[in-house]
Amino acid sequence: PVIQCDIRQGRTAEQKQAMAEAITRAVHETIGAPVEYIYVLIRETPGAHHVKAGRTLPEYTGDG
């Protein structure tokens, strides 16, 4: 399985690693895929590249 995550820039390397590990664990536990076959791709883009209801999102600051 390939899981793609598109997030705003600003998370730490540790946060992204923890997210990838949690996603890997969830996929393994849910569908039984061997961990060594689970691929997590994290793409980071500026907040201006994320548009919700026609409005761009602010840059990620960790406040929510």
Q: In terms of DSSP bridges, do strands 2-8 and 39-45 run parallel, antiparallel, or are they unpaired? A: parallel
Q: pTM of this prediction? A: 0.86
Task: Output the pLDDT for position 63.
Answer: 74
Question: pLDDT digits over 49-63, tens only?
Answer: 999 999 999 999 887
Task: Quickly count: other Cβ atoms within 10 Å of residue 2's Cβ.
Answer: 8
Task: Output the pLDDT for position 64.
Answer: 58
| Residue 14 DSSP class | H
Question: pLDDT digits over 10-42, tens only?
Answer: 999 999 999 999 999 999 999 999 999 999 999
Task: Output the pLDDT for position 62.
Answer: 84
From 1, 34, 46, 58, the catalytic residue: 1
58 annotated active-site:
no
Q: Tokens for 31?
A: 């569908």
